[in-house]
Structure 1
Amino acid sequence: MGFVKVGRDKRDSRWDAHREQRRVALVGSAIGAIRREGAGIGMDEIAASAGTSKTVIYRHFGDRAGLYTAICESVAGVLLAEVRRATAEALSDSGRGPRSAVAAGIDAYLRLIEIDPELYRFVVRRPLLTQGAGRRAPATTDGGHDPVNDLVTVIGDEVAAVIGGTLTTTGEGPGHTDDHTDDADRRAAARIWGHAVVGLVRGAADDWLARPDGTPRERIAAHLTDLAWSGLSGLASHVQEVPQ
């Protein structure tokens, strides 16, 4: 009996791997279709692009909201990796400083929009969830999980970590004399500022995409960095930029 159970478990494991591979392939096919057809693409076009049926897609993702969430998670993974890479690269260069890390993170976010505008529109505007007469986009896709807001939260935490790490490195605080209070206040401030910077960038990025006026990505990134850094450096004089 033990041998039979092990055999069944191994088969189940192989099927699990197969199903996951199939999900990844379907997400990749959907992303390719969005890039070709635009953010307003429907399930029929997505299924046709994958060479399958909507029924098969629903079997793997549950419904259109499940597919949308999987696409968002894929995009989030790429964007988060790029933001992390860009900020880490800036911070590892002794000739650069925290301002450069903020600039690099902002530019990485904008670069995704420039390279994949339709995919970005698909993620933030949720067209797949609003198609059909009388349908409205739900606040969340599974009763509490919103992949777009989750992505914004994760990136905000990343920026907060960069800011907080800079504050810790300097060893200076916002003016308190108690070390424990100092650390708690630094962490709280870093979290607030990190999420504020992400909100600033997303708002400007959405407008840049919705109402293009020819301003290049580099200029948008520079303007946003100037605004964000003037606030950060003014509120926390202990965060100093390394001279270029």
Structure 2
Amino acid sequence: MDTVDAPPRPDGRRTRWAEHRRARREELVSAALRAIARHGAGVGMDELAATAGTSKTVLYRHFADKEDLYQAVAERVNRLIVRELNAAAARARSPRDALAGIISTYLHLVEKDPEVYRFVVSHPLVERVERDPVQRISGLIADETARTITAQLRVAGSTSGATDALAHGLIAMIRTAADRWISSPAPQSADDMARDLTALAWGGLSAVLPTPTTPAGTPEEDR
């Protein structure tokens, strides 16, 4: 009878080394975020290395080039944004609440770390990026917005096949407004901007979507 060879055992040293490199890479991304907050979006590799307490040579051992480092930072920011938006969406009790929560959360994240936001959006560390993480982030935010609003409309008794496209349009508007807002000499607070932007976005969205009704059969108030 043929025997089946046992699968090779994983190389413990190689596994530990891969984990060490992954952890070290994450540490360097954290240091890069601190350097950006300290020195601004135009931070250079020298400042990044100094903040990490290492040298540029070591940075390039863990990142293939400047774009690789930029992509790693953008991915970290992306995960944070999506996690916070998911939490905001989970708390929503109506389509308008969902939209307001997403807008408010996004703007407060921008207000908290404006230089990090500028770094990700304008990518000054590299002249041109092969894979634009900003478009991916915007797409994920728009997808989350569409899922949340569609789910809320279903609960309220109304749906629209255009929700996904409208959500992506709203996110483009929100991103453009956030870019302009955070670049203003004296921007209004995130709370005030979120209030005004929510009113603008919901005014347009509610005008084209079927009017949801409450369980009692009365139109939901445009709070």
State whether structure 2 residue 210 is matched by structure 1 residue 237. Answer: yes
Aligned residue for 1:90, secondary structure, equals: coil
5 Å-filtered alignment, 1:103-142, equals: 103-129=100-126, 137-138=127-128, 140-141=129-130
1:6-29 CA-to-partner distances (Å, cap 9, x unmatched) read: 2x6222111111111000000001
- Which amino acid in 2 is paired with 1:213? A
- Which residue of the partner structure matches residue 72 of structure 1? 74
- Which residue of the partner structure matches residue 94 of structure 1? none
- Which amino acid in 2 is paired with 1:11? R
| Corresponding residue pairs, total | 213
- Which amino acid in 2 is paired with 1:168? R
Q: What is the Cα deviation at residue 55 of structure 1? A: 1.9
State whether structure 2 residue 30 is matched by structure 1 residue 28. Answer: yes
Query: Is the 1:83–1:109 contact (alpha carbons within 8 Å) kept by the matching residues of 2?
Result: yes
How far apart in 2 are the matches of 1:164 and 1:98?
8
How far apart in 1 are the matches of 2:183 and 2:40?
14
Query: Is the 2:49–2:59 contact (alpha carbons within 8 Å) kept by the matching residues of 1?
Result: yes
State whether structure 2 residue 97 is matched by structure 1 residue 100. Answer: yes
1:164-210 CA-to-partner distances (Å, cap 9, x unmatched) read: 2123334435xxxxxxxxxxxx34x1111111111111111100111
State whether structure 2 residue 190 is matched by structure 1 residue 193. Answer: no
Q: What is the Cα deviation at residue 239 of structure 1? A: 3.5
- Which residue of the partner structure matches residue 205 of structure 1? 178
Q: Which has the higher helix share?
A: 1
1:91-134 CA-to-partner distances (Å, cap 9, x unmatched) read: 3xxxxx211111111000000111101111111011111xxxxx
Q: What is the Cα deviation at residue 51 of structure 1? A: 1.5
Q: What is the RMSD of the two structures over their aligned residues, measured on CA atoms?
A: 2.0
Q: What is the Cα deviation at residue 242 of structure 1? A: 5.7
TM-score normalised over the length of structure 2: 0.88
Query: Is the 2:98–2:149 contact (alpha carbons within 8 Å) kept by the matching residues of 1?
Result: no
Aligned residue for 2:210, secondary structure, equals: coil
Query: Is the 1:170–1:238 contact (alpha carbons within 8 Å) kept by the matching residues of 2?
Result: no
5 Å-filtered alignment, 1:11-90, equals: 11-90=13-92
Query: Is the 1:157–1:194 contact (alpha carbons within 8 Å) kept by the matching residues of 2?
Result: yes
How far apart in 2 are the matches of 1:77 and 1:213?
29
Query: Is the 2:89–2:98 contact (alpha carbons within 8 Å) kept by the matching residues of 1?
Result: yes
Q: What is the Cα deviation at residue 237 of structure 1? A: 2.6
Query: Is the 1:233–1:239 contact (alpha carbons within 8 Å) kept by the matching residues of 2?
Result: no
Gaps of 5+ in 2: 214-219
- Which amino acid in 1 is paired with 2:108? R
- Over 2 Å off, 4+ runs: 166-173, 237-244
How far apart in 2 are the matches of 1:153 and 1:211?
25
